[in-house]
Each structure stands twice: as C-alpha cells, then as structure tokens.
Chains A and B, each alone.
Chain A
Amino acid sequence: MNEETERVRDEFLAESQELVESLSRDLLLIDHGQKHNALDPDLVNAVFRGVHTLKGIAGMFGYGELSETAHVLEDLLDQIRLGKISLEQSTLDVLFEGVEVLQRLLGAVRGESHEVDVALFRDAVRSITSATKVATVDPLAAYDIGDDVLGVLTEYEEHRLRANAEQKNPLHRLRVRFPLSSIDSDLEAVKRRLKPVAEIITYLPSIEGSGDDAIELEVLLASRATIGELRTLAGTDAVETVRLRVPESRTVPPPRMTEDGDVFRRDSKPPQRTPTLPPAMIIPESSQRDMGAEGIAVRAVSKTVRVDITKLDHLMNLIGELGILKSSVGRVLERMGHHTEMRPISADLQRVHRSFERHLAALQDGLLDVRMVPIGQTFERLARAVRQVAREHGKEVRLVVNGGDTEIDKLIVEELIDPLLHLIRNAVGHGTELPQERLRLGKDPSAIIALNAYQKGNHVVIEVEDDGAGIDTKRVLARAVERDLVSADAARELDDHAIRQLVFLPGFSTANAVTDISGRGVGLDVVRTNIGRLGGVIDLHSTVGVGTKFTLTLPITLAIVNSLVMRVASHTFAIPLTVVQEALALSEYEQRVVDGREMITLRGQSLPIVRLASLFKLGTPPNPKAFVVVTALGQRRVGLVVDALEGQQDIVTKPLGKSLHRVRGFSGATDLGDQRVILVLDAPALLDEALENESPLAERRMTSGGTA
C-alpha cells in the first residue's frame, strides 16, 4: 500500500471511528431514555443520520461489507424512526450488536484480525423487521387536526404526531407572528424556549396574517404544558393558541380554557367522533415527558441552509466584480472632476458612489460573515480523537480548550481538521508520557493537552500544546543525520530551535520516530504542506521535560484580501498585507552577503532578502531605488526586493488554471479593475523557497517537491 492510499484509508478510519463512537454514545442515551420512559426522538434521528453517513463514506471508499452492514442498520433505524418498529430492549440489543459489528469491520480494515459474522447480525435484524406489526387504530382520529395540516406532514412528522397521540399528549396549534427581518433568530428562540416542555412536530406558514413585513407560522406541537404557559414561552408575538381537541377534552374544565381570553377551541365538530376513547389520563405537570435537551433537534437543522462553499465563492467573485466596477466609476468621477461644468453632476454622482461603496462593503462583510464558523466545532471533533488515542496508548489525557468561539473561514476549518488531528494524535501518542512515568517525574498522572485559538490581527492562531516530555534535540538530530536529511557538519551549526524544525522535513517521520503519528506512516511535513496551502505557517516550540507547543498561524479568510500592489521590472504583483510587516527603501540599509545569501540588518536583526527580479528571472539590472517588502509568517521573515510600490487594494484572489499548478510562487491572480490582471504572490511558498536557498537543507527539500 503506498503512502497516499494509506493516508486516504487512515482518514476514512478516523472519520468512521468517530461516527461509530458517537453511535454507541447515542445508543447508550437511547437505552437510558427507553428504560426511564423518556425517549428523545431526536437521538434516534442522530443515530439514523450517523449510520447513513457511515454507509456513504464506507461505500465511497470501497468497503462494501461495512457499507452493506450500515445499510441494514440504517433500514432498521428508519423503521424505528417512523414508528414501524417499536423500540424495545430486544431491538436495542440488535442495534448495539450492529455497532459492535461495525466496530469489528473497521478493525478488519485497520488490519486487525477479527471474527465478524455479518450474516448472524443480518438474521437478527430480519427477525425484528419480519415481526413488524401495524397499528390498527389510528390515534390521530381523536384529534381534529385538519387535512390541510395532515396532508403536508412528512412521514416522519406524521409518525411523531401519531406517537404523541398514542401517549395522549395534548396537541396544540400555535400561531406565532414573526417580523420578516428577524424570523430566523426569533423562530430559533421560540423553539429553544418551547423545547423543554413541548415537542414541535412541524411549523407551516399560515395563510392569514402574513403581511409584507411579517409572517405568521402555525406551529404544531405536542405538550402537556398549559396553554397559558405555551403562550408565555412562545412570546408576545403569539397571535393565537389553539388546543386541538384531545381525548380528555371533555374532562378539561372549560373555565381554564376561557381564562386565556383570546384563546378559543376549535370545537365545532360533534363529539361523537371520539366516543370509544378511554377516559383521560391525568398526568401531573411535574411528570412531563422530558422531550430531550440532548441530541440535535431535527427541526433546528432545517433552519440553516447548507450551501456548497463554491457557491459562496461565486458570490464573492461577483462582489469582486462589483468592486472593480466601483473603481471604474471612481476613475470616471476623477475625470469629471477636471471639467468645471460637470461639477454639480459629479458631486451628485460622488454621493451615490460613496453610498454604493458603503453598501458594497456591507455586502462583502455579510458574505464573509456567512463563511465564518467558530473553530470550536472542530475542537469538539478533536476531543473525541483525544479520548480515543489516549485509550489506545493507555494514557490519561485531559483536553483543555480555549477560544473555541474564535471565528475562521469555513473553507479553512474544513482543511484544518486533518492537520489538527495529526498534531493531536502526535501529542497524545508521543508528546505525553504514560501515567506511571509522569508520577515518577512528579507530574500529575493525567497529562494536559491544550487547544488554544485566538485572533491576532488578520490571523487566527491555533496552538496545540502538551505538558509532556518535550522534543529531545539530540534524538531529532541523530535521526536527521541517520536519514541523511542534514549533513553532520551542517548539523553542528544548528541551534536547538532549528534542530526541532527538522521534524517538518519530508522523510523524517517513520513508524517509530520521535514525532510520528501513532501508526501512521505520514509525518509533520504533510501537516506543514497542508497549512502552507491555506496560506498559513506552523511553528514548533518545545522544552524538554516541560512540553511541546505547535503554533498554527492562519489567515482569517481566503476570500478577500487587502493587498500590497508592487512592481518588479514590467511586472505587477500583489501580496496579501496580512503577511507584510513593513516596506523599506533598500538603499537605506547596508547589504551584506552571508553564505551566498543577501542580508540586511533591520533594527539589529539580520533579514535575508530575495530579489524577485532574479528569483523570477525577469532579467533587470539592480535598481538603486528598490524597496524591501518585509514579509513574515510566524517566526520566519524575508525581505522581498521590488522596484516600486503602487499602493493597497482589496483583491479577490482567483485560482490559476490547472495547467499552471506546477508553477511555484503564485497563489492566484486578480483583476485590478483597470483591465489589468496581476499575479498574487504565494507568501508561504516564497518564504519556503527563499529560506531554503543556499541552506544546507535546500537540496533535499527541492527534490522532495513538497510544496503547495
């Protein structure tokens, strides 16, 4: 198996493992709920969705048996979800068995030998599904729900309605008026308030009462709370609360209903529709069914819209185009300013232009905001990995998360999961010591791994920190020399920090390396490449005996970047300002050549400089009026020498075509608006290249080709 397929398989295993874990966790909760007669239907849904996802990814990666087993399980769960099979202990046993089978099949993928009897499990499922019974009496007949509602319910909603009816829970139709502008958040708030006492079956727009700026929703819910309580919870915008006629309606004292003033009963139909019903069960308010605060609300999901990020990119592109139009209008305005007779019109246009500019900025901010998600979601996924890896290694690890609400571009988050998972496994597997070892060292037996996130200017910094053994520079150096990553001579000149950076070299990690990822044949070089691809950098600090800290510095968004536009020979380039520290006139600094590398001294520190004209072979003579653009990512700095600075501009970086993907040094191109297309420099790649050149590691890295 080559490294790539192994990596793919490992990713699949990691994701599936998480799914299976959450399945068993949810099943335990269901088990608990079932025993206490307080089952949360949302949990069943969560399990159903989890199994469905697992089926999908297993199929995608070609694990047929796994996918089929998940499919069998999914079918069973679907039947349970829709109430076609009741959830009894025997059913739960089969579900648990299913998870066990999945776990074993995953083990088999991992190469562990497990006896898996899939056929036995299938038989068990079949014995349940074949015993399916259909309810003979429709409990819904007891309620006057109305065909207008029944007709539009999904199968699942209908099932939930029926399940509540079977338990003789009172049903309500609640009409709530929402202003159009804030319906999303308002609806969410209402749902949140109602959730503890009611199960919301569905909500439908109501025909009456919806105006230009408001909309009325009819919320169908089951609850044992009083109408007054429901009204209070639903908030002041509740227009009308209707308690649907229930079997016990005859025993409900009428005064209670009328106390609520504007509440009325849809009681016009003759009562003979429900003559055979048993007398109402009087259930005290205190024993209200726990509708389940845990698990994910099915309905909550429907409030959000999942959008393919490429669609957002498309919108962002359009905003970029609008920005270009805006600058064109600006140029026309400038020209108009030269003509006295046009002044009045030009002043008018200027106002419109400014207002357009403001709205465009708001639109841009809004769209950027849509792309932003709190990093905490990712951290949660990592928390599971920590537990799991710690178990595997027999270690005790406590995860501490700080700054989970730090927001970052969705696209970056997606790409961050793998590298972070890598670092976490690394920290648990190799960073931390075993409990007995820690006790011997006088440390707390349970190690701490901290995930910290915070915003720093236009960047988000994420730290993965452990209080483990630290990275032993002697061992790193020995390995690097042994693997021929650095010559023994060059090694002598490296300081401790530089030595630790060697762990990022391709070929450093192996199955038993100091910094290897448990059982994975890939190393930190992949992590660094992936972070670099996102325009970020990774840094490493470690103190022996105290711990190790990996620091990831990432741009907040990849969409719109304020950039410095600069000229080199006849070429114009842009570089994101997020990586630019300052720009200086080269002539004011003394230039030296150290070890074949050009340097200047900036405030007492050496700064390597790279002439873009020679790096890109643009063949121009040295320019006495050149500028140095100090470019920094994390701890690494380099001065890019350019001929002129043209100014700042917000740019939308667009990718270059596939045919140019092998060209190093550019992350894309952008349209400047005056019909000019310019290339955007890929700062991480340039830093890599600049700092590699002439260094003892240069040759090795160049041949590995491991750049973004």
Chain B
Amino acid sequence: MTRPRTPGLSPATLARRSESALARSEGVREYLVFRIGDDVMGLPLASVKEILKLAPITEVPRASSEVVGILSVRGRMTTILDLRRVLQLPDAPVARGARILLVEHGDEVLGLRVDSVTEVVRLLEKEIEPAVAIGGGLSEHVTGLGRPSNREGREESVIVLLDPVALLRS
C-alpha cells in the first residue's frame, strides 16, 4: 500500500531533469509531486527553486497562523509557510520526512513545508484535467488534476496540481 518513495531528491538532479529535452518537447509538463497527509499534490517543477530538508525553524510571534517561522537559507532570512495551513487542511504533527520547497513569490523566496517529496512526474497534456473542466468545488489554488496513465511499476493515482502564484497570493 505504500508507494516507493524517493526521499532526498537532490536539487541538482531535479535541475538536470528539468532541463531535459523531454521537458521541452511539446505537450509534456513536469511536476514536483509531494504529499500532505494522504493527499498527493504537485507544483510545476520550474516553480520550485530548491528542496531543503527540514531544519530548526525559528518561530515568529505575532505572525499569521500559516507562518511556521524563519530559516536562514545561505544567510537570507526565509519565511517558511505550512502548506497544510495555507490550503486550510486540518493540522497534523510534522512528518519525519518533511521537506521545505523554496518557491519564488514576487521578489521574495518563500519556503513551503510539506510532509514528503515523492517524485517528479511528466504529464502529457491529455493526462491533465483542467480545473475549469471539472467545475465547482475546487479551491482557486488548484489548476487541475493530473492522472498519469498506468506506467510500469506505478499504481494509478490522482495528483492535485497547484498554482504557486494563487497559492501564495493570500
């Protein structure tokens, strides 16, 4: 029932992958897939600058509830958000394999804490169901649902694809 995980996916590997010829070929989009609880979600790979292991985060009193705190990323004070709270999902203890995704937001780099990072998937256009086609019920953060067709060694799943811009706008 547990799917194989690829923890500690190095940014360098990701960078190489994102530059791969396949990514540029038409109709293929790359997503970084991660989990929050049982939910499988994805952000466009290009929007994620870096993946960090969870480090001690300094709490900031008086900050809004989705702010976990700050972390020094190579000397730069980076605000870390709890993606769970941003998405208004119920709170849960911090997962052991938790990661921080660094995402650019305007001229600021923000960190998003997620429970685990699983993989990078390439989705063909036909494997993405746009949110508009699905209709109501989805939050504005969601651009669509990814349904990778059954490939070898992989069970069928649905990936909730998020829009980083909408996500951080609030």
Q: Which residues of A contact B (CB under 8 A)?
A: 317, 320-321, 571, 616-618, 654-660, 663-666, 668-669, 671, 675-679
Contact = CB atoms under 8 A, between A and B. Distances in A.
A317 B73 CA distance: 13
Interface of A is mostly: mixed
A571 B59 contact: yes
A539 to B, nearest CB: 28
A659 B63 CA distance: 9
B26 interface: no
Given A317-B75, A668-B77, A676-B56, A658 B62 contact: no
15 contacts: A317-B75, A617-B61, A654-B77, A655-B77, A656-B77, A659-B67, A659-B108, A660-B70, A663-B63, A665-B62, A668-B77, A676-B56, A677-B58, A677-B70, A678-B58
Given A659-B67, A659-B110, A677 B79 contact: no
Contacts of A665: 61-62
A616 B62 contact: yes
B61 A571 contact: yes
Contacts of B58: 669, 676-679
Nearest to B109: A657
B63 A660 contact: yes
B94 to A, nearest CB: 16
Given A658-B107, A659-B67, A616 B75 contact: no
Interface string B53-97: 001101111110001001110011111010000000000000000
Nearest to A668: B77
Contacts of A317: 75
B75 A679 contact: no
Interface of B: 55-56, 58-63, 67, 70-72, 75-79, 81, 105-110
Contact of B75 (A321, A657, A659, A668): A321
Contacts of B59: 571
Contacts of A658: 106-108
A571 B57 CA distance: 11
Contacts of B67: 659-660
Nearest to A317: B75
A442 B76 CA distance: 61
Nearest to B106: A658
A420 B155 CA distance: 69
A671 B72 contact: yes
Contacts of A657: 70, 77-79, 108-110
A322 to B, nearest CB: 11
A409 to B, nearest CB: 20
A321 B75 CA distance: 8
A678 B108 CA distance: 20
In this complex, the member of B76, B77, B108 whose beta carbon has the largest number of chain A beta carbons within 10 angstroms is B77
Contacts of A617: 61-62
Nearest to B61: A616
A677 B72 contact: yes
A112 B164 CA distance: 50
Nearest to A616: B61
Nearest to B81: A659
B82 to A, nearest CB: 13
Contacts of A321: 75
A679 B75 CA distance: 14
> Which 6 A-B pairs have CB atoms at the shortest separation, nearest pair first?
A616-B61, A657-B79, A677-B58, A659-B79, A658-B108, A669-B77
A671 B71 CA distance: 9
A317 B75 CA distance: 8
Given A659-B81, A663-B63, A665-B61, 7 more contacts: A617-B62, A654-B72, A654-B76, A657-B77, A660-B60, A664-B62, A677-B58
Contacts of B78: 657
B74 to A, nearest CB: 9
Contacts of B72: 654, 669, 671, 677
A678 B59 CA distance: 9
Interface centre among A663, A671, A678 (most CB of B within 10 A): A663
Nearest to A617: B61
A151 B107 CA distance: 45
A317 B106 CA distance: 23
Nearest to A659: B79
B68 to A, nearest CB: 12
Contacts of A618: 61
Nearest to A671: B72
Contacts of A664: 62
Contacts of B61: 571, 616-618, 665
Contacts of A677: 58, 70-72, 77
A323 B4 CA distance: 43
Residue of B60, B61, B67 ringed by the most chain A CB atoms within 10 A = B61
A320 B77 CA distance: 14
A675 B81 CA distance: 20
Contacts of A678: 58
Nearest to B59: A571
A659 B56 CA distance: 19
A281 B38 CA distance: 97
Nearest to B69: A677
B79 A675 contact: no
A474 to B, nearest CB: 40
A617 B61 CA distance: 7
B63 to A, nearest CB: 5
A663 B77 CA distance: 15
Nearest to A569: B61
A674 to B, nearest CB: 11
Contacts of A655: 77
Given A663-B60, A665-B62, A671 B110 contact: no
Given A666-B60, A676-B56, A660 B75 contact: no
Which of B63, B71, B72, B109 is the most central at the interface, judged by chain A CB atoms within 10 Å of its CB? B72
